[in-house]
Amino acid sequence: MEINISIKNEGTQRGEAQMIYMAMAMYCEAKPFISYLGLKRDGNITRFQVFKDDEVVLIVSGVGAMASAIATTYLLTQYKVQHADLFLNIGICGTKHQGIKKGTALLCHKIIHHDTKKTFYPDMLFRHPFKEGVLETFSRVVDIKVDSEIEGDIADMEGSGAFQAASVFLPPHHICCIKIVSDYMEGEILTPDQVSELVQHNVEVISTWIRERAAAYVPPFQILTGEEEKQLHTISHNLKLSTTMNHQFKQLATHYKIRSGNLIEVLQPYLAIECKSKNEGKIHFAKIKEQLTEF
């Protein structure tokens, strides 16, 4: 049975549909979605395997955080992602918890890059039918017998790369990471068919949830003026804000304007500030947040 993810709205700059982008490391992980959603190979793309229809684009990235980050960046750039679109990184993972049944799909509410210790927090704003877990991304295959200090509930090799790359283009609540437990990190070796079977058991519930997520999208009203947007960009650049902090800044500014209406008056003193370091920027950003959250 195929599922029609109909997500037409007037809120995107594209003016036609809110797009759904997916990145998966291996073709055997992607195959069940390609079949279920009726996606066709994009013959114009030769650097990666890309499958799509009018509303869904899926890329097979290759294994590893770097490969996933490169493929995600390529995908979202090539197809001109818009602010309202959705991105999902889906694939298999290992777990140290024997109590989690193989084939269980988990939605990640925290992602750790093992090598750098950078941590990412996807926004969990929508109801979902999945178990939740902390994902830790490694640069190699993990064996629980050797790696005793595993922070995450589950482990993979792509999640942090995909999330970090996607966050350059999209806000955190439009980025999702869903992992399907395939092993207990004890050296098990799975065939491509076994991987496809594990994913196949979750295709319908994941696809249905994607449809519900898309249907819940409400096109935003134009609250900030062009001048206000320009000032936010200038301040964000001068304070050396990270992508996540920049999204938070815009959200706080929007809420403040709805409440009081005099946003420019608050922003004006910060336009001339230019920070030499990110730590200095964080100090000024804390002051701005305090002002923007005052009632």
And the tokens for 157?
């090799």
| Tokens found for residue 158 | 């792509």
Same domain, 29 and 174: yes
What's the distance, CA 14 to chain centroid? 20
Q: Are residues 119 and 164 in the same domain?
A: yes
Domain CATH number, residue 43: 3.40.50.1580
Given 167, 183, 215, the domain boundary residue is 215
CA angle 229, 230, 231 (to 5 degrees): 90
Dihedral pair phi/psi, residue 282, rounded to 5°? -65, -35
| 295 residues of the chain, pLDDT tens digit each | 333 443 333 333 444 458 999 999 999 999 999 999 999 999 999 999 999 998 999 999 999 999 999 999 999 999 989 888 999 999 999 998 999 999 999 999 999 999 988 999 888 778 899 999 999 999 988 887 776 678 889 999 999 999 999 998 988 889 999 999 999 988 888 999 999 999 999 999 999 998 888 777 655 557 788 888 898 899 989 999 888 788 888 888 888 887 777 788 888 888 888 888 888 889 888 888 888 876 5
162 and 271 in a single domain? The answer is no
How far apart, in whole angstroms, are the C-alpha atoms of residue 86 and residue 202?
19
pLDDT of the residue at 143: 81
Nearest to 135 by CA among 92, 167, 191: 92
Q: By the 8 A CB rule, do 157 and 141 touch?
A: yes
β-pair partners for 183: 94
Question: Last residue of a domain, which of 160, 193, 215?
Answer: 215
Q: What's residue 218's pLDDT?
A: 58
**Are residues 113 and 192 part of one domain?**
yes
List the structure tokens of 37.
């959603």
Q: Which helix (H) or strand (E) holds 94?
A: strand 86-95
Task: Confirm whether 11 is domain-assigned.
Answer: no
Q: How far, in Å, CA of 276 to CA of 281, rounded?
A: 8
**Neighbouring C-beta atoms of residue 53, cutoff 10 Å:** 14
43 with 176, same domain?
yes
Considering the domain architecture, whether residues 176 and 267 belong to the same structural domain is answered as no
The pTM for the full model equals: 0.71
Give residues with Cβ within 8 angstroms of 34, minimum separation 6.
51, 58
Does residue 181 sit in the same domain as residue 252? Answer: no
Q: Which domain holds residue 249?
A: 226-292
Q: How many residues does the chain have?
A: 295
Kindly state whether residues 167 and 265 are assigned to the same domain. no
